[in-house]
Amino acid sequence: MRRHELTDEAWARIEPLLPVNTGPGGRWRDHRQVVNGIVWKIRTGADWRDVPERYGPWQTLYQRFRRWSTDGTWERLLAHIQVHDDAVGAVDWSVTCVDSTIVRAHQHAAGARKRGNRKGRSGHRSTRRSTRRDQALGRSRGGLTSKVHLACDGRGLPLAFTVTAGNVNDCTRLTEVVQAITVARQGPGRPRTRPGHLIADKGYSTHLIRAWLRQHRIAHTIPERSDQLAARARRGHRRCAFDPALYARRNVIERCFNRLKQWRGIATRYDKLAAHYRAAITIASLILWLNQEPQNTP
């Protein structure tokens, strides 16, 4: 087994879930060879044309990656692993941490094909702006960037994420990320969707977020900003409950981002399409779950 390739144990867990070619034409190239090539490409951040020949033609790898990004295959693989780990009690639901990270977009990430009618100079400008929003690209201090909003469990493994333009405020996406957490049950019962206890930094300290969390009966630990503390003191109100020891567990999401950004194709965005970049994050998240130490079945 070469570096960045799936282990035999990891491959045995996902192989039965991969699509089977039932359409016209010849047999598909070996799935394991192609998946290893896709993982190598995202891990190294190389161009598709530079993937080593041992993984097969780069066109085959790209087409398989694009097809499975479109039909949701990568998401189904990740969901299956999450369901299995939850069934054996491996998922740590005691805390769920939410945060975001900025990702610099390479110049090759810009310039996705624009759709829609162009009516004069003003029409061209509006189309360009809307295309950037659609592809999760925006201008921020770092230039053209994207932002990954993510929720992880108490072990620091991704539960759900969303990708937006880099200039989108963190607090505007918390509800979207929390609502994206859906881990189905292997047996009867509703999917697990509500965190046991949510932890976030002071960037998420808003009245609307706290009200939404209380409405959905989600216990949370979010520190207040200094201006909010001063305003409460002036009005004679008491501070929101805050447990420093529990808040210290928020470091798991920082470690999660650190492991994801060890993949060069994620630390820097090279993909023009937001759907392809989301698929790359899904694949990296899948590998993190597969490489997690196995838990004993209770």
Set out the domains of the chain in order of their start, with CATH numbers: 93-269 (3.30.420)
Instruction: Give the model confidence (pLDDT) of 52-86 as tens digits.
Output: 999 999 999 999 999 999 999 999 999 999 999 99
Whole-number pLDDT of residue 292: 81
Instruction: Give the model confidence (pLDDT) of 198-221 as tens digits.
Output: 999 999 999 999 999 999 999 999
Whole-number pLDDT of residue 234: 77
DSSP output for 119-173: -HHHHHHHHHHHHHHHTT-EEETTEEEEEEEEEE-TTS-EEEEEEEETTS-GGGG
* C-alpha to C-alpha distance for 289 and 81, rounded to whole angstroms: 7
Whole-number pLDDT of residue 132: 58
Q: Which residues of the chain have pLDDT under 50?
A: 116-130, 294-298
State whether residue 76 is helix, strand or coil: helix
Q: Which tokens in the block code for residue 130?
A: 């809307």
**262 secondary structure, DSSP code:** T
Quote the pTM value: 0.88
Contact indicator for 115, 143 with CB cutoff of 8 Å: no
Whole-number pLDDT of residue 259: 96
